[in-house]
Amino acid sequence: MPVSEEEIKKTFKNVIDLLEGMLNDRSVPRNIKRVAQRAINELNGESEETPGVVASNVMYNIDDLSQDPNIPFAARTTIYRIISLLERVKD
């Protein structure tokens, strides 16, 4: 079942909200915040890529964070939640 454009926008908004929560969390290291900010920029950007490609790029970058030993457990859980939201976005 294809995902509608409205659902994709809602998913991207939810992901941005989760990422902004990570940015505001003082326990999250700066290197993780930098990647989160890049992901927000990519989700907000008016790129010529399809939503599926944008979601895939963000998932790739965010997935690398889940392997970081310095990431707090709450942030790791948020990352898994973000990945699960973005996995639904297909072309």
The domain that holds 22 is classified in CATH as 1.20.1440.50
| Encoded amino acid at 86, one letter | L
Question: Model confidence at 60, in pLDDT bands (50, 70, 90)?
Answer: very high
18: confidence class by pLDDT, cuts 50, 70, 90: very high
**pLDDT for residue 3 is more than 60:** yes
What are φ and ψ of residue 36, in 5° steps? -65, -40
Asked if the structure places residue 28 within a domain, the reply is yes
| Total number of domains constituting the chain | 1
- pLDDT, averaged across the chain: 91
Report d(CA 31, CA 60) in Å as an integer: 16
Task: Note the pLDDT tens digit of each residue in 20-30.
Answer: 999 999 999 99
pLDDT at 46: 76
Q: Which residue has the higher pLDDT, 1 or 83?
A: 83
Confidence of residue 4 (pLDDT cuts 50, 70, 90): confident
User: Which residue range forms the structural domain that includes residue 36?
Assistant: 5-86
Is 91 among the domain residues? Answer: no
CA distance 53 to 91: 8
Assigned domain for 30 exists: yes
pLDDT value at residue 2: 56
CA 3: distance to chain centroid? 18
**The tokens of 77 are what?**
């859980």
